[in-house]
Each structure stands twice: as C-alpha cells, then as structure tokens.
Amino acid sequence: MDERQLNKYFKALKNLKAGNYNLQLESSSDPALDKLGRLIDQVGNSFHQKLERSNKLFKLTEQVNEGVNLDEIWNHVYDAFQEIIPYNRIGVARLEDEGETVVSCWARSDEEKVKLQAGYQSPLEGSSLQKIIKTGQPRILNDLEQYLEEHPNSHSTKLIVSEGMRSSLTCPMYAMNRPTGFIFFSSRHKNTYKNAHVGVFQQVSNHLSMIVEKSRIMQRLRELDDLKNQFLGIAAHDLKSPINVINNYINIWKQGYYGDYDEQQKKSLDIMERNCNRMRTLIDDLLDLSAIESGKIEINKEQVNLNEIILNYYVTNKSMAEKKSINLELDLPEELPDIQADKDRIIQVIDNYVSNAVKYSESDTKVTLGAKILKDSIQVYVKDQGPGIPKKKQDKLFTRFGKVGIKPTGKEKSTGLGLYITKIIIDGHGGEVGVQSEEGQGSLFYFRLPLD
C-alpha cells in the first residue's frame, strides 16, 4: 500500500474536518486507495455544496426578513429562492379555526392566470394535507394529472392542474412547535421533485415559518395599535365637550352671574378651574398623540411673522408666570424674517416650553423667552433658572412618556407627552429641537426652523 498517498488522504480528511473542502486529490495506482480518494473528494464536494446552499439560504432569509407585510415577504421569496429550488408557482395556506380549516392566503405563478387564489378554503379533516401535518414530512407528487385521476374529487388539485402545473412539493409550516400552514411549490414539468433533497425544502420551510409568524404577529399588533389610536382619539374628543361645559359654567360663576360668592367658594372654583385646565391639556395631548401615532398630524404652513407670534404669546401668558412669582422676560431681535410655518403649532410648542420652565422653576426666579437668527435657521428658546437636568437623563427628553424624575415646584402634573409632541411638530417643519442643561444650572430648551 502506498503510504505516501495514504498520508495525503489523512491530511485531506483533516482539511475536510477544518472546513477546507477544495481537496483536489491525486489519483492512485492502487485501486483501493484510488476508490477511497474519489470517495473523500465526493464527500468534500457534497459538504461544500451544502455549505454554499446554507449560506445562500441564510442571505436570502435575511433579505426576506426585511419585508414589512406578508405579501411583501412572499414576493421576496418568489423572486429569490429559485436560486436554490425549482418552481413555477408558490402557494401559501394557513390553518384557521383552531387548525380545522386550510385557507389559501397567497399565490403567485409564472403562468398568466392563477386559479387557486387567496380565500380558497377547505376542511383539514379527511384531506391529504392532514397526514402532512401529523407526520411533519413534506409530500411530493411527481405527476399531478395521474394524482387527479386517482383523486377526482380533489378540487384544489384540479385548479392547480388547470393552471398548467404537473408536479408539486408540499411542506408543512411550524412556529413554536405548532402547525401554522403549508407552502406549496409547483412545477410545469413532471418529476421535478423526484430526486429533490426534501431536507432542503424543509429547511426553507422552517426558516420561512418563523419569519411569517413574526410578520403575522407584527401585522396584528399594528392593527391593534391602529384600533387603540382610533379609540384614544374618539375617547379624548368625547371627553373634551363636557370638560369645556364645566369650565364655561365655572367662568360664568366666577364672573358673578349667579350672585356673590365667599372666599371659600372662590377657592373651590379655582381648584375646579385648575383641574379642568389640566384635563383639557391632557385631552389635547392625547388627541395629538392619537394623530401622530396614526400618521394624521397636520402641519398647515403659511407665511408667518415670528416676532408677532412670540410677542403676542408673551403679552397673553405673562400672568401665568406671575402666579408663581416668576418673571417672564422677552429677548427678541428687532425683526425676525418671515418663515413658512403652522402658526398654531408653533404657539403650541412655545407654550409647552414656557409652561415647563414655569412648572419646574422656583418663585422669585426668571424665565426668558427669546429668539435669534442663525446662519440658515431661526432659533427660538426658553431659558430658566430651575434645577437643571442631569446629562445621563437628557436622552429621555423628547420621547413618548419620557420623564427625568424632576418634580414640579408647584406639584403640577405632567403627561410626559408634551416634549414628544413638540419634536414631532418641529420635525414636520423640517427643523430640530434640543436642550442645553447642567444639573443645578438651569436649562435652555430650543427649536430651530429653517429660513427657506
């Protein structure tokens, strides 16, 4: 026996074990060694093919996983997986009614007409698909016409054959050890899957099952989220009317239309008015949140004068700060250029900044509302002398329900939505929001709007 050749074969096996499949073994004059060498070469090629197929499957699965909805995912599958497996048609069916009904949910074919379309359904009990679910093994039909002759009552096979398909491979889909449906690969030619490596198809099916189940759950969550937003919008809108009625009656009472009232009654009316205003703010935030979540928040831009907007806000709301013995100051250049913006939304943002500054400031301090012209934008800012915000907590600002743990000085309440809504509004203007703050040094909140 040729020991030198034998040592080469041992070395080749070690390379094979290490993942080097390109062996290129020389033939041997010894028939037994030559046969062994060819066998090692074949094993190496087989492993190499399987590795390449697995890598390709992994990359394709990654691409498919980027699909947003189920239709998009299956179209990705149809376009990409012909590199690995042959087909002229793919159909997908899911199990419904607690696994009792098979419902076609997607199909695509090279043929012009798809006859077995989404919505077609049949009971699982007593069907040939029931065995596939029970065994968990794929089924190959090499001659659909012959199968139809033997099973003339199979309406689904009749439809597939009328589409021009002549052979098929059906794989069960499982997610979390539970059967969820089937993938049907079909070909125009007989015996396409006669020598198919069923394990490859099952591997593809297993990969896709998890992706599809994840997508189905995400799609359902999006539907529930949309339903939640609709409910939130309706509930908040319906709450606003009675709150406004209560607030109007409080104002009528305070203006003396129902006669004189004593100091204790005045305190009660003030408490009722504060809570009504708080409720209105909460409802407005919820309505804005509902609009944002559903993608329906409106930004109606027009040419506006920021000097006028800021000055009017200052005059109207200066008393809000004075109630806490806080001095609201104005810092404006002589003239700001006009910009395209939604006036009401910009006032909403300014009000949020100023209200927060007053809310978290102590008495006998000042809050500054100002603006300045930058290179390509206008910056509006609100500066306070409050407690400041620790750097490590600043990333929670401008997020939904984001709170940094700093308590208002007058025990005011907060929804944690104001700054989040502010960011969405300014983003809608093509601008940006930000904060400059150090613990114990106060805070400066700003937003920037583009000049053009």
Looking at 293, 317, 334, the residue that finishes a domain is 293
Residue found under tokens 């013995």: 325
One domain, residues 249 and 287: yes
pLDDT at 322 over 60: yes
Residue 300 has pLDDT above 70, yes or no: yes
The band of 178, judged by pLDDT with boundaries at 50, 70 and 90, is confident
Residue 215 lies in a domain: no
Residue 22, pLDDT score: 65
Residue 440 located in a structural domain:
yes
Does pLDDT of 291 surpass 70?
no
The answer on 116 and 41 residing in a single domain is no
Query: With 80 as the cut, is the pLDDT of residue 55 above it?
Result: no
pLDDT above 80 for 57: no
Number of domains in the chain: 4
Same domain membership, residue 50 and residue 108: no
> Is residue 348, in this structure, part of any structural domain at all?
yes
Is 109 found in the same domain as 245?
no
CATH number at residue 135: 3.30.450.40
Whether residue 266 sits in one domain with residue 176: no
Residue 29 resides in a domain: yes
| Residues 386, 323 within the same domain | yes
Residue 78 lies in a domain: no
Query: Is the same domain home to 128 and 98?
Result: yes
Averaged pLDDT for residues 90-109:
90
Mean pLDDT rounded to a whole number for the chain: 81
Residue 284 lies in a domain: yes
Give pLDDT tens digits for 10-45.
676 776 666 666 666 666 666 766 677 677 777 766
Is there a single domain that holds both residue 187 and residue 284?
Answer: no
- Of 242, 258, 293, which closes a domain? 293
pLDDT of 97 > 60? The answer is yes
252 — pLDDT class (breaks 50, 70, 90): confident
Distances (CA, A) of 112 to 82, 120, 145, 185, 256: 19, 19, 20, 17, 79
Q: What is the pLDDT of residue 242?
A: 81
pLDDT at 234: 67
State mean pLDDT over 339-367.
Answer: 90
In a domain, 242, yes or no: yes
**In terms of domains, do 332 and 444 share one?**
yes
Are residues 192 and 110 both part of a single domain?
yes
Domain hosting 416: range is 303-450
Query: CA distances (Å), 216 to each of 43, 178, 179, 313, in order?
Result: 40, 15, 14, 48
Mean pLDDT of 122-135: 89
Over range 79-99, report the average pLDDT: 84
- Are 159 and 94 members of one domain? yes
Give 401-431 pLDDT, tens digit per residue: 677 777 788 666 666 778 888 898 898 899 9
Say whether both 313 and 437 belong to one domain: yes
pLDDT reading at 282 higher than 80? no
Question: pLDDT per residue over 383-400, tens digit each?
Answer: 999 889 888 888 888 887
Domain membership of residue 208 (yes or no) is no
Kindly report which listed range (16-30, 95-109, 315-329) carries the lowest average pLDDT score.
16-30
Average pLDDT estimate for 118-143? 89
CATH of the domain at 312: 3.30.565.10
Structure tokens at 280: 């209105």
